[in-house]
Chain A
Amino acid sequence: MIAFENLEVRYQAAPSPALRGLTLSLERGIVGLLGPNGAGKSTLLKALLGLLKPSGGSGTVLGVALGAPEAAKLRGRIGYMPEYDALIEDTSAYEQVAFWGELSGLAPEAARDRAHEVLYFVGLDESRYRAVSGYSTGMRQRVKLAQALVHSPELIFLDEPTNGLDPDGRRRMLDLVLRVHAELGTGVILASHLLADVERVADQLVILDQGEIKAAGSMAGLRRALARRVELRFLDPLDAAQEAALTELGTVLEARNGLYDLELTEADPGGAFSWAQAHGATLIQVTPRHDRLDEVLLRALHPALHPALPLAQNPAQPDSEPSINTAGTGR
Chain B
Amino acid sequence: MPIYAPTLPPAPDLSQGHPPALVLLRFDLARLWRQKIGRFFGFVFTAILLIQTAWIYAKFLMQTNQTLRPLEEYSKGLFAQGADFQASLLNPTMYLLWFLVALVGGGLVARDSLYRVRPLMYAHPVAPQDYLLAKLGFASALPFAILLPFALLPWALSLALAGVHGPVWVTAPLRLLPAMAISSILMGSLAVGASSLASTPRAGIGWVLGLVLGAGTLTSMLHGLTGLRLFDGLNPVMLAEAWPQLLVGVQHPLVAWVPALLGTVFHIGLWTFVAASRTRPSEAVI
Contact = CB atoms under 8 A, between A and B. Distances in A.
A150 interface: yes
Interface string A232-269: 00000000000000000000000000000000000000
Contact of B3 (A12, A84, A91, A123): A123
Interface in A106-147: 106-108, 110-111, 114, 117-118, 120-126, 142, 147
B77 to A, nearest CB: 52
Nearest to A80: B123
B281 to A, nearest CB: 6
Interface residues of B, number: 43
Nearest to B11: A152
B71 interface: no
B8 interface: yes
A29 B9 CA distance: 19
A158 interface: no
B284 A84 contact: no
Contacts of A106: 11-12, 14, 16-17
A169 to B, nearest CB: 11
A104 interface: yes
Contacts of B18: 102, 107-108
A99 B11 contact: no
B2 A124 contact: yes
> Could you say which interface size class chain A belongs to?
35 or more
A311 interface: no
B120 A105 contact: no
Nearest to A89: B115
Contacts of A291: none
Nearest to A176: B4
A85 interface: yes
Contacts of B274: none
A300 interface: no
Contact of B285 (A71, A105, A151, A179): A71
A50 B119 contact: no
Contacts of B157: none
Contact of A75 (B2, B124, B281): B124
Given A90-B31, A120-B5, A151-B11, A107 B123 contact: no
A86 interface: yes
A100 B18 CA distance: 12
Contact of A105 (B16, B117, B281): B16
Interface string A158-179: 0000000000000010001001
Interface string A60-101: 000000010101110110101010111111110001000111
Given A50-B285, A121-B5, A149-B8, A88 B115 contact: yes
A12 B282 contact: yes
A229 B222 CA distance: 81
A114 B15 CA distance: 15
A11 B124 CA distance: 21
B125 A117 contact: no
A71 B31 CA distance: 30
B284 to A, nearest CB: 6
Contact of A99 (B15, B23, B115, B281): B23
A43 B18 CA distance: 30
11 contacts: A51-B119, A52-B285, A78-B123, A85-B115, A86-B116, A90-B34, A104-B14, A105-B15, A110-B12, A118-B8, A150-B11
Interface of B: 2-5, 7-18, 20, 23-24, 27, 30-31, 34-35, 111, 115-117, 119-127, 281-286
Given A51-B122, A184-B7, 6 more contacts: A78-B123, A86-B115, A86-B119, A105-B16, A118-B8, A120-B5
